[in-house]
Amino acid sequence: MELLINPYFLFVLSTYLIWRASGSFDIASSYLTRNLKPGIKGPTINAAASSLPELLISSIFLFRFQNIEGFSAGFATIVGSSIFNVAIIPAIAFLVIFFQGRHKSFPTYKRIILQDGLFLVLAEILLLIALYTVGISLIFALILIGVYLLYIIYIYLKRMKGSDEESQITETHSFENYGWIKNILLLNLFSFFNHRGKINSLNAMVVGAMAIGVIGWACNLLVLSCENIANSLELDLFIVSFVVAAIASSFPDTLLSIKDAQKGKFMDAFSNAYGSNIFDICIGIGLPVLLYLLIFDMSVLPGIANNPVLLYSAILLIGFTMIISLLYYLSNLRLWNTAVIIGLYLLFIWMVVWISDHPEEIAAFLNL
């Protein structure tokens, strides 16, 4: 019985459930959006689907604590997941296909870097402005959501013609049926509705809804795990969420991009990382705050503006996003720049942890 309340067991269990349920959700969403062109599905459908954990975790933290600590923990999850997405996901996708002997390099599309990267940096700058001025208010929450809607419209109009190279790639829509016990252990949700491995619109929609429910429950377990780990180790919840919750919630994004890369769908594999970040920042922060402010009849979250830890984390996120995007723009992914990007990710983590441990020094530096 003690195992069921052990925070590390809850972390493993929640991560596993998020991973498996996201796999079923990916199959469902892939079928329902099977007619979308390459370069559209990655930054939109895949990104939104795989970023559901971040959105749910951010919402649970905010509504569970109902104070700046809850917002900060959700914010830390978003920031940690964002840098993981843009730095580690393309790197892992490349390393997988490299060591499988398939490709010596991973294409980084300049068009995607300019288009998706522009929206991503814009969203990050808007978030920084909000944190530096009044905090996350109703207006800023609506602006963040509006930026994501604008991004969706822009991507749809720009990429409807698709890529001639990748448009030739066909994708089969089916699932493996392993038998009842293994299906339950692997959370193979489609097997509960069709034993022949066939997918149709009805079971895709039902499975998609079931997967969201499982992911939501798993995210609640993950939030509880982070809270208990922080208490047991006497660590700031911000740091635990920044590392533990962020990496756990990024599993779906990572697996989606690996699958796309193995199928040769490099554009979706690469653009998914940027699209996920835009979704995380605009919707993962904007939507929970908007709902919270409306439910509790508030105009702005108290204690957010000029918070040194949040402020400097946002500044670092902008800087590292631009540096890593520049590396992608200058060259396709190879072993040498993959190592550099992974090193930048580790440096980012160290800097954010240091900032969280020295808030008084940062506040003094900022003359707050």
Q: Residue 47 CB: number of other CB atoms within 10 A?
A: 30
Question: Rounded CA gap, 257 and 276, in Å?
Answer: 11
Q: Which two tokens stand for residue 272?
A: 């998914």
- 242 compared with 42, residue with greater pLDDT: 242
Tell how far CA 286 is from the center of its chain: 14
Arithmetic mean of pLDDT, 81-92: 91
Q: What is the pTM of this model?
A: 0.85
Phi, psi (rounded to 5 degrees) for 2 = -60, -30
DSSP assignment letter at 100: T
Mean pLDDT of the region 247-260 = 82
- Give the residue with greater pLDDT, 170 vs 328: 328
pLDDT higher at 31 or 233: 233
Which of these, 247, 242, 221, lies nearest to 7 by C-alpha position? 221
Residue type, 307: N
Return left, alpha or beta for 39; rule: phi > 0 is left, psi -120 to 50 is alpha, else beta. left
Q: Is the pLDDT of residue 347 over 50?
A: yes
The whole-angstrom distance between residue 324's C-alpha and the CA centroid of its chain comes to: 17
Question: Distance (Å, rounded) from C-alpha 88 to C-alpha 120?
Answer: 16
Sequence-distant (6+) residues with CB within 8 A of 85 are 250, 253, 273, 274, 276, 277, 280
Q: What is the pLDDT of residue 37?
A: 63
Across the strands, what pairs with 106?
A: 333
CATH number assigned to the domain comprising residue 45: 1.20.1420.30
pLDDT digits (tens, 9 = 90+) for 184-195: 887 888 777 766
Containing structural domain, residue 122: 2-366
CA–CA gap between residue 227 and residue 209 (Å, rounded): 27
Smallest Cα–Cα separation from 104: which of 267, 268, 337?
337
pLDDT, mean over the chain: 84
pLDDT tens for each residue of 98-116: 888 777 888 888 888 888 8
* CA-closest candidate to residue 117, choices 270, 254, 340, 251: 270
Q: What is the pLDDT of residues 128-184, one digit of tens each?
A: 999 988 888 899 999 999 999 898 888 777 766 554 444 444 455 556 666 777 778
Question: Distance (Å, rounded) from C-alpha 224 to C-alpha 227?
Answer: 5
Judged by average pLDDT, the poorest of 205-219, 262-276, 277-291 is 262-276
Indicate the number of domains in the chain: 1
Q: Count how many residues are written for the chain.
A: 368
**pLDDT tens digits for 297-306?**
998 888 787 7
**What Å distances lie between residue 146 and 3, 27, 274, 282, CA to CA?**
44, 28, 17, 8
